[in-house]
Amino acid sequence: MSAESAGTWRSAFAALMERRAIAMLFLGFSAGLPLLLIFGTLSVWLREAGVDRATVTFFSWAALGYSFKFVWAPLVDRLPIAGLTARLGRRRGWLLLSQIALAGALLLTSAFDPQTSLTLTAAGALIIGFCAATQDIVIDAYRIESAPPELQSMLSSMYIAGYRIGMLVGGAGALQLASAWGGEAYVYSAWRGTYQMMALAMLVGIITTLCIPEPAHQDNHADTLHGTRAYGLFVLTFAVCAAAFVVVFSASGASFKWLASQLHEHHHLHRNIAGFLSESGRLVASVAGAGLAAWLCVQAKVVPAAHIRVTYIAPVADFLERHGRTAVVVLLLIGSYRIADIVMGAIANVFYLDAGYTKDQIATYSKFWGLWATIAGGFLGGILSLRFGVYRILFLGAVLAAVTNLLFAWLAMQEADTVLLAGVIIADNLSAGLAGAAFVAYLSSLTNVSFTAMQYALFSSIMTLLPKLLAGYSGTMVDAMGYERFFILTALLGLPVLLLTWLAARLQRARQNR
């Protein structure tokens, strides 16, 4: 190894011990903790409570808050919080508020038994998703603003490591607590206590927020809105738009359900495809309703059009201006990169239960060993991205995601065997950690510091929107085709990502050579 190469590797490892990287480890924990509590862990709780498989996977839509966080990211970017912003700063103030609200949402959800209050359990999950997505908005902006671009790969690695440790606590830790307090039978009080302990674990993030400094370099549009009245009117407009979305979504349910039946019965579309198309139409109609409400608010001068332009249009225009024709390929890559991982992940815990594994086995092999494999993959992805470039590791991660989903298809054809389970899970999480570190660094590189929160929230929302919509139908798809064919399908979904990654890298090189 040459001296220059050795120096590069030493610099890469030294960056892991940087103070800002350590802070991202703890903030990553705070971000990762709630994800499985509305995803995998919640699916085990619901399944154990007797909720059918299709309904369980529909609960994954509680995480759609992550896919729409760009809508309220500008509020987080610009609005001060009374009593917090002046004392802690803009980023830390919002971070503390979101973390306290998230702990409260976990306590609220613990108060409802899904056997008797399934709707209230769903409402609690939605609130957790909203608060967790808000926390993510602030952490992402904090990470990008607190360090220069050359450190983003390392910060991403530490963030993912902390994120996965948080997922371990929210996944394996929660399952082991529920098992220790309730055994293998369904005991509501065991799950209630488990979610209360998860709320207590949010203290890690809260304490970190109180200890870290406010980033010095922030965007220069933060003070676009002036005065209490302007803030209030902007929040009012957001609330009106959110209400319009909810009203249209709720009122159109029966109509789009009828549309799905018509597509299935008269146009001979598969039931899953018809359902996906109708729900996508329902989502589009709801977004259009929110957009109409925003337009009416502007026309009625509730909020000045200039505020809307600076808050929502300017960040998008900046991205399109900087990337030109390449923007289309970049957005397609962002929207599809994690599709194989997310669609498969929605049904993973249900698959383990149906395959005959216990909660303790799922916690040990899926969460504990999977966690350490993901952390190792995250560090490896960060170091390799710094050493060989982000695009090469993105491509490698996409290949590994498809291959490991095929391993799950093979596992579904075997008798329950914890050695096989451990091997497949370790391989899957190692590849996920590697790809995740490279992808977070890639998204960070696309962001203009003048629009940090909005642009990164938009990118990460696009990243999860289509995959999470499809994930909601994973239970129905498994009912129709079985686990083996389903896992093969998820592997095939990842193949277009390879072409998009190659094309994005080629276009980026062409732009740099101009």
pLDDT tens-digit series, residues 247-276: 887 788 788 888 878 877 776 677 767 777
Give the tens place of pLDDT for each residue, 280-336: 788 788 888 888 988 888 888 877 777 777 777 888 888 888 888 788 999 899 888
At 63 the pLDDT is 63
Higher pLDDT, 499 or 4: 499
| Position 279 pLDDT exceeds 90 | no
> CA gyration radius for the chain?
22
Token pair, residue 495, equals 């193949």
Q: What is the 3-state secondary structure (H, E, C) of 164-222?
A: HHHHHHHHHHHHHHHHHHHCCCCCHHHHHHHHHHHHHHCHHHHHHHHHCCCCCCCCCCC
| The listed CATH number (3.30.56.10, 1.20.1250.20, 1.10.10.10, 2.30.110.10) that belongs to domain 19-214+304-512 | 1.20.1250.20
pLDDT at 106: 96
- To which H or E segment does residue 303 belong? none
- Secondary structure of residue 116 in the 3-state scheme: coil
Amino acid at site 127: I
CB 184 within 8 A of CB 356: no
Q: In this predicted structure, what is the pLDDT of residue 514?
A: 65
Amino acid at 295: W
Q: Work out the pLDDT band at 103, boundaries 50, 70, 90.
A: very high
State yes or no: pLDDT of 388 exceeds 90: no
Please give the span between the terminal C-alpha atoms of the chain, in angstroms, as a whole number.
33
Least confident of 196-200, 249-253, 469-473: 469-473
Residue 195 has what pLDDT?
96
Among residues 215, 219, 223, the alpha carbon closest in space to that of 78 is found at: 223
Of 56 and 172, the structure prediction assigns the larger pLDDT to 172
Residues 388-405 have a mean pLDDT of 88
Residue 398 has pLDDT above 80, yes or no: yes
Mean pLDDT of the region 219-245: 65
Q: How far are the Cα atoms of 464, 491, 504, 506 from residue 499, in angstroms, in the given order?
A: 19, 14, 9, 11
- Which has the higher per-residue pLDDT, 375 or 45? 45
- Percent of the chain exceeding pLDDT 70 equals 88
Whether 355 shows a pLDDT value over 50: the answer reads yes
Tell me the C-alpha distance between 155 and 440, whole Å: 9
Domain boundaries defined on the chain: 19-214+304-512, 228-303
| C-alpha distances in Å from residue 366, one per residue of 139, 199, 376 | 26, 22, 15
